[in-house]
A and B are shown apart, each in its own frame.
Chain A
Amino acid sequence: EVQLLESGGKLVQPGGSLRLSCVASGFTISNYAMSWLRQAPGKGLEWVSTASGTGGSTFYRDSVKGRFTFYRDNLKNTLYLDMARLRVDDTAVYYCAKQMTGDPPDPFDTWGLGTMVIVS
Chain B
Amino acid sequence: QSALTQPASVSGSPGQSITISCTGTSGDIGSYDSVSWYQQFPGKAPKLLIYDVTHRPSGVSNRFSASKSGNTASLTITGLQPEDEADFYCTSSTNTDALVLFGGGTRLTV
Binds B, one of A9-17, A20-28, A76-84, A108-116: A108-116
Q: How far is the CB of A22 from chain B (nearest CB, A)?
A: 12
Cβ 8 A contact of B89, one of A45, A62, A95, A106: A45
Closest B residue, CB atoms, query A105: B93
A47 near B89 with CB under 8 A, answer no
The count of A-to-B residue pairs whose CB atoms sit within 8 angstroms is 58
- The number of chain A residues with a CB under 8 A from chain B is 20
List, in ascending order, chain A residues with CB within 8 A of B87's CB.
Answer: 44
List, in ascending order, chain A residues with CB within 8 A of B38's CB.
Answer: 45, 108
- The number of chain B residues with a CB under 8 A from chain A is 27
Q: Which residues of B contact A (CB under 8 A)?
A: 1, 3, 32, 34, 36, 38, 40, 45-48, 51-52, 57, 87, 89, 91, 93, 97-105
Across the A-B interface, give the 6 residue pairs with the lowest CB-CB distance, nearest first.
A107-B51, A111-B45, A44-B105, A105-B93, A107-B36, A59-B99
Q: List 30 interface pairs A-B (beta carbons < 8 Å), by A numbering.
A: A44-B104, A45-B38, A45-B40, A45-B102, A46-B102, A47-B91, A47-B98, A47-B100, A50-B100, A59-B99, A61-B98, A62-B97, A95-B45, A95-B46, A100-B51, A104-B99, A105-B34, A105-B100, A106-B34, A107-B34, A107-B48, A107-B52, A107-B91, A108-B38, A108-B46, A108-B48, A109-B48, A111-B46, A111-B47, A113-B45
Q: Which residues of A contact B (CB under 8 A)?
A: 44-47, 50, 59, 61-62, 95, 100, 104-109, 111-114
